[in-house]
Structure 1
Amino acid sequence: MRDIPAIHYTNQMHDPAQARRALGHVSIVSPDPSWPEYFSRERARLRSFLGPLADELQHYGSTAVPGLSAKPIIDMMTPVASLEQADALSEQLAAAKYRRIDAGFFKRRFFRRTAADTNLAWHLHLVVAPAWPVKNELLLRDWLIRRPDVARAYEALKMELATAYGDDMPRYTEGKTIFLRKAVNDARLSHGLPAEHDWDE
């Protein structure tokens, strides 16, 4: 998730094979110091499509952690009041070259953009998140920055999973679940927050 704590494929309307095709091959590349700048440029570009939601847009995932190898995906997230609000933005986001993908999420809408002249992709998550800004993905990002030892262990796991499941992005993501749930709860504990038990997103 996109580096996120979990993806669940329990939605009866969800087609895992279609999601695999839409998300493409798992490719881990060396860290690129330009990734934060790519995010900043995309946030500026999205202002005319998202309006005030762009003010809350956050860069998360491995490309937001300096020095961490990652899939060349700029993961972005912003809170919405409801899924209906997210759905209402679909037309504007289509005009911004974002395609909605059904990855089995329950509390968010997920969009992806690619560009022909780069290997980058941009993933945009519109999330119903009452606990924003202490959203688990944001806590995880900051935890990996603060704890290089955890970031290195995560990097090693990603490399192993990419070798095993390079053509199956959902399975690659599921393989990170146990590690990421522990890291998220360690991060939450460091902020005096209770452990997370509801991973349905």
Structure 2
Amino acid sequence: MTIDEAIHLEPYDKQWADRFYDEYQILIEEIGPYTAAIEHFGSTSVPGMTAKPIIDILVGVESTQHANEIIPKLTAMGYEDLGEAGIPGRLYLRKRGRHAYNVHIGSYRGDKWNHNIIIREYLRAHAVEAERYSEIKRRIVTQGTRTLLQYSNEKHAYVEQLLARAKAWMNGRTS
């Protein structure tokens, strides 16, 4: 069991929002009582963005006990439990099949939760930034990157800069 896997990019697909919603309905029924919130995030949640055709789902929990209740329910639904997968404080599960899903379980409104939501909202509000990020991702793949870990590593510095801009934008909106 390894987190690394082959990746490819696709142009934005309006069905990604529907796929999230369909999986969300199932997740609410199965794990809803143990969650504080369930959100679509990542590039498939931003209209117009190029993305890996994998729906990323953020599951916020109030306690570790809730995360421990969720894991067996998700594995029974066909999700593969990959533990923290290199990111402390986040539990990562994936399901591959007709459609692909990643579930990221973490502390509701903790830093990882907030960072992912801030980036999503920033990219949704800034189409030029979303296109710039899409171009960087396309360039990484065009230059030969074909695996998840290499892809993630190669865009890491850009994502850190993106987060800084998103935080500044969010702080400007709320002050």
TM-score range for the pair, normalised by the shorter chain length: 0.7 to 0.9
Find the counterpart in structure 2 of residue 49 from structure 1. Answer: 30
Q: What stretches of structure 2 of length at least 5 have no aligned partner? A: none
| From 138, 145, 148, the counterpart of 1:159 | 138
Find the counterpart in structure 2 of residue 19 from structure 1. Answer: 3
The answer to whether structure 1 residue 82 and structure 2 residue 79 are counterparts is: no
Distance in 2 between residues matched to 1:123 and 1:34, nearest whole Å: 16
For residues 1-201 of structure 1, the aligned pairs below 5 Å read 18-20=2-4, 24-53=5-34, 56-102=37-83, 103-115=85-97, 118=98, 120-131=99-110, 135-163=114-142, 164-166=144-146, 168-192=147-171
Select between 80-89 and 92-101 the one with higher mean Cα deviation. 80-89
More helix by share: 2
The number of aligned residues is 170
Distance in 1 between residues matched to 2:150 and 2:113, nearest whole Å: 27
Superposition CA RMSD, Å: 2.1
Contact 1:43/1:54 (<8 A) preserved:
no
Q: Which residue type is aligned with residue 165 of structure 1?
A: T
Distance in 1 between residues matched to 2:112 and 2:152, nearest whole Å: 23
The alignment partner of 2:171 has SS state of: coil
The alignment partner of 1:156 has SS state of: helix
Question: Relative CO higher for 1 or 2, CA cutoff 8 Å, sep ≥ 6?
Answer: 1
Find the counterpart in structure 2 of residue 3 from structure 1. Answer: none
Contact 2:58/2:113 (<8 A) preserved:
no
Decide whether aligned partners of structure 1 residues 127 and 39 sit closer, same or farther in structure 2, where only a CA change above 3 A counts. same
Q: Write the deviation string for residues 124-165 of structure 1: whole angstroms up to 9, x where unpaired.
A: 111024447971111101111111111111111111222322
